[in-house]
Structure 1
Amino acid sequence: MIFAEFTEVGLGNTRARQIWRELMTTLSYFFQSEAAQQVREEGREEGLQEGRAEAQAGAVLMVLERRGLAVSPATRARITACTDLATLTDWLDRAWSVGAAAELFLHP
């Protein structure tokens, strides 16, 4: 598989490269190295984790907005940038009772 990638890079930005890509997508490889499988699985898990964090951040923002609380751009940025699910879960719990969105970040 690595030789296929080297070949593609070597073809540059040409019509031959496009044909090569089309040919390579029609092939199926029966052998998958353990390292390639592990990297793929790690990438899949990382993507799932990112998706969970995005969903949780969205839930925090939704609760705040549905409660009629103003969410500043800085608060929104902090919530959407967070990738720690435990922190986001805490913020979601607090979102139901805080008086202002910025209070999410205050420790009880």
Structure 2
Amino acid sequence: MQLSFIELFNIPESDICIKTIERDFYLQVIEANVDRESRLNRLTQASTVPEAMVKEIVIYKRNPDVVAEALFQAKGICQGCNKAAPFNRKTDSTPYLEVHHIKPLSAG
């Protein structure tokens, strides 16, 4: 059995994000598709009640002026990889880029 990303890097439960959980689940589905006999055996022993996770999260409010200025300064070029935006927005045809902070919002 392959270790999950969370197990491999010994990530504390408090640091687990939804994207990591989704990625690990996707990888587990791929692995489950490899051997049907093993999968059916695991299904006979599996709980019929899904496991639940409760997670408290803190969301930092982003300043829309910072986002707008970063997009203006980028002029359609990703500041991380220096490539053009992958596509334009349907709403206003501007280049679609994700704005990421050099200093994370959580760092204050």
* TM-score range normalised by the length of the shorter chain: under 0.3
Normalising by structure 1, what TM-score? 0.22
Greater relative contact order structure (CA < 8 Å, 6+ sep): 1
* Larger helix share, 1 or 2: 1
Computing the radius of gyration from Cα coordinates, the structure with the larger value is 1
Normalising by structure 2, what TM-score? 0.22
